[in-house]
DNA sequence: CTGAAAGCGCTTACAG
DNA sequence: CTGAAAGCGCTTACAG
């Protein structure tokens, strides 16, 4: 008891080591180690005493020393080229949430689209003995500008293109688009248009394909830019034509949807009474501030991050994981832009 | 040469250690270590040979082992309660940019406003022997829900409230507001109103105070919420009154400014011809998409992050750092909402 | 100019 | 039930 107080200050640099705990408890460091780790066999009394004293002196095991032995650093790296963070932040939140209970911390490395910077960060992670790397990005059909194959540590891809033998998590954009269009149909809409982003995006083609499947025909698909201004322009184009006007618009993302809603309002067309609008991404800052707030497809990126985190953990622990692409379902978030009814999920 | 190839596979687990390099080069591990670290004295020939072979076999020093000796992990933690990332991402980018060249990696920990989660993350960081912790948040007048004093590692605060003896970086909101209002004055505006957020925010009071100082009177200050809808409402209130209308509005953030601009347009009031508008935050997604795009005050959070990073590094290396609050200047980003003229900076 | 030895803080067979 | 010893991968005095 009295002796423990003497050692509270710890050795040099103020850090308390297992030696201090052992000395204070009057046992060897091996016994102290086993007591704290619930391994080995010893009297309950000894184990409890060591643990109590460790708590009293504020002992915190040095993860560096531990990692040196165990070959596990309880550290992973998250690599992203999405500097703006629109997609990376929810993914990061999911990873962190899944791993914090396992004592795993996450290095975040934003590499823009700079291969040299990417290599620097990968090298730094590897030297720090990360247990694995999760690569994430801003589009499903592009790889990060770094080579992550043959790395000696497991790699998982989330919301970015992976390699054929890796495990890759992505949103099921076709299913998400289906959700949106079927919802519009269920609201009684029959003339549904689709205003979306650049056709060279894989997800744009996926979403457009699903749109066509649901409406059972060619429909009206307008490819453009990921911008509010494009939503405006597209509405102007449609309403300047002679043909019958749509009673619903499925937009490729929330920014386009916001532009479309604003353009409709400025034309005196009511949303959702005259025209229903659905967005994609469920980006709160955009969807929530639109008048009226947008019903939108959420890609569940946090859940995607969580699964990527649990997978990298499994790989790091040597548990078997089936390689391949895993599509995660999207969810429709109902606000006011399609009418008041709530989904019957 | 031939021998090095034999060792490429490394020891168990495929990792190549300094033993492999030493063996391949035919020297002792001490010599290998000194050769690689440019320390000690030896023939240039030996040093070069060791370095060449290390490169050939793909040797990567184990930072865990290194850290155990040097008491430096080349790792820092970034703690934030800003889950949305609006403020944290630029800060993080600045930190990372400043430290990557020094071989330092960053653990990102989002703790929401949960003290227990905060403690868990702090404990994890401390066990991993971080060289320091940077605390950041979403407002200048609130502390994170964790106690970071008496930590045995240096702590720096950036865009969140620190402790009296710590070093804290924050934006100079008064100077930023002055920049905005002086700009409006320079554009010939004389009746400048101020629509802003909740009065209990320190930065709201700072900005309002600077506004009053520049216009030299009480002015029109309307406190409200950080939302587009509030910008709308405030404009409606002003324009429903009998008195003379403002010819400029300085808004407390970009969302309010966007709402105000939309409300003005809907009233047939032209921006910037009839009324100039300035926002605050320079949040690209809002400021850039407003019609017309917003002139806005940028808090230079990336620079703030960079300085926080360099400071924590200095502290970690034992260099002396003056404690106290450091206010960093804001910058006015000119777009189209005040007129076409560009700043004469 | 080069190497043997001690040690960073811990864990884990192996003895007793 | 408990402890001495070896070792994880490196660095750094200290000898030679």
Question: Measured between CB atoms, which of B85, B109, B227 is closest to A89?
Answer: B85
A27: Cβ under 7 Å from strand D? yes
Q: Is the pLDDT of residue A3 over 80?
A: no
What 3-state DSSP class applies to B117? helix
Q: Is the pLDDT of residue B340 over 80?
A: no
Q: Is the pLDDT of residue A46 over 50?
A: yes
Domains, chain A: 2-61 (1.10.260.40), 72-171+301-329 (3.40.50.2300), 173-298 (3.40.50.2300)
Selected residue with higher pLDDT from B75 and A45: B75
Q: Does B116 touch chain A (CB under 8 A)?
A: no
Q: Is the pLDDT of residue A39 over 50?
A: yes
E strand residue ranges, B172-219: 192-196
What 3-state DSSP class applies to B221? strand
pLDDT tens, position by position, B283-307: 999 999 999 999 999 999 999 999 9
pLDDT at position A14 is 61
Fill in the DSSP letter of residue A198: -
Which of left, alpha, beta for B172 (phi over 0: left; psi -120 to 50: alpha)?
Answer: beta
Given a contact cutoff of 8 angstroms between Cβ atoms, the answer to whether A139 and A202 are in contact is yes
Give the A window 35-74 contacts with B, CB below 8 Å. Answer: 60-65, 67-68, 71, 73-74
pLDDT at position B8 is 32
Q: Does A108 touch chain B (CB under 8 A)?
A: yes
The verdict on a CB contact (< 8 Å) between A107 and B107 is: yes
Given a contact cutoff of 8 angstroms between Cβ atoms, the answer to whether B197 and B226 are in contact is yes
pLDDT tens, position by position, A209-235: 999 999 998 889 999 999 999 999 999
- Of the candidates A296, A300, A258, the one whose C-alpha atom is nearest the C-alpha of residue A279 is A296
- CA distances for A328 relative to A91, A162, A169, A175, B18, angstroms: 13, 15, 7, 9, 43
- CA distances for A193 relative to A121, A141, A217, B18, angstroms: 44, 25, 12, 64
pLDDT tens, position by position, B126-180: 999 999 999 999 999 999 999 999 888 999 999 999 999 999 999 999 999 999 9
Q: Does B16 touch chain A (CB under 8 A)?
A: no
Q: Is the pLDDT of residue B6 over 90?
A: no
- Retrieve residue B178's tokens: 């002055």
Question: Measured between CB atoms, which of A93, A100, A120 is closest to B121?
Answer: A100
Question: Measured between CB atoms, which of A14, A127, A152 is closest to B152?
Answer: A14
pLDDT at position B144 is 95
Q: Is the pLDDT of residue A341 over 50?
A: yes
Name the CA radius of gyration of chain B, rounded.
27
pLDDT at position B44 is 86
Give the A window 152-171 contacts with B, CB below 8 Å. Answer: 152
Q: Does A267 touch chain B (CB under 8 A)?
A: no
- Retrieve residue B98's tokens: 């400043």
B42: Cβ under 7 Å from strand D? no
Confidence of residue B341 (pLDDT cuts 50, 70, 90): low
pLDDT tens, position by position, A235-267: 999 999 978 899 999 999 999 999 999 999 999
Strand C positions within 7 A of protein Cβ atoms: 1-5, 7-14
């Amino acid at each position: 008891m009295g002796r423990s107080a003497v050692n509270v200050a710890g050795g040099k640099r103020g850090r308390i080591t297992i030696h201090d705990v052992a000395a204070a408890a009057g046992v060897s460091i091996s016994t102290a180690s086993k007591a704290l780790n619930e391994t080995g066999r010893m009297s309950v009394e000894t184990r409890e005493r060591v643990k109590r004293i460790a708590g009293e002196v504020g002992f915190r095991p040095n993860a560096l020393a531990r990692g040196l032995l165990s070959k596990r650093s309880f550290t992973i790296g998250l690599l992203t080229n999405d500097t703006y963070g629109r997609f990376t932040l929810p993914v990061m939140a999911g990873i962190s949430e899944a791993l914090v209970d396992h004592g795993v911390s996450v290095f975040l490395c934003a590499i823009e689209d700079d291969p040299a910077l990417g290599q620097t960060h990968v090298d730094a992670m590897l030297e720090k003995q990360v247990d694995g790397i999760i690569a994430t990005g801003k589009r499903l059909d592009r790889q990060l500008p770094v080579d992550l194959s043959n790395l000696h540590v497991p790699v998982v891809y989330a919301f970015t293109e992976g390699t054929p033998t890796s495990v890759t998590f992505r949103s099921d954009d076709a299913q998400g688009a289906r959700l949106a269009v079927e919802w519009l149909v269920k609201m009684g809409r029959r003339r549904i248009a689709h205003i979306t982003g650049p056709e060279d995006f894989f997800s744009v083609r996926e979403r457009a394909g699903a749109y066509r499947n649901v409406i059972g025909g060619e429909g009206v698909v307008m490819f453009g830019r990921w911008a509010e201004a494009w939503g405006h322009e597209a509405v102007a184009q449609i309403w300047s034509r002679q043909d019958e006007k749509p009673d619903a618009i499925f937009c490729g993302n929330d920014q386009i949807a916001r532009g479309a809603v604003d353009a409709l309002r400025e034309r005196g067309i009511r949303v959702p009474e005259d025209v229903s609008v659905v967005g994609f991404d469920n980006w709160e800052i955009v969807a929530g501030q639109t008048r009226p707030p947008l019903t939108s497809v959420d890609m569940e990126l946090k859940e995607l991050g969580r699964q990527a985190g649990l997978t990298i953990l499994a790989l790091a622990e040597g548990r078997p994981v089936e390689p391949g692409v895993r599509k995660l379902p999207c969810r429709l978030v109902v606000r006011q832009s399609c009418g008041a009814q709530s989904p019957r999920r």
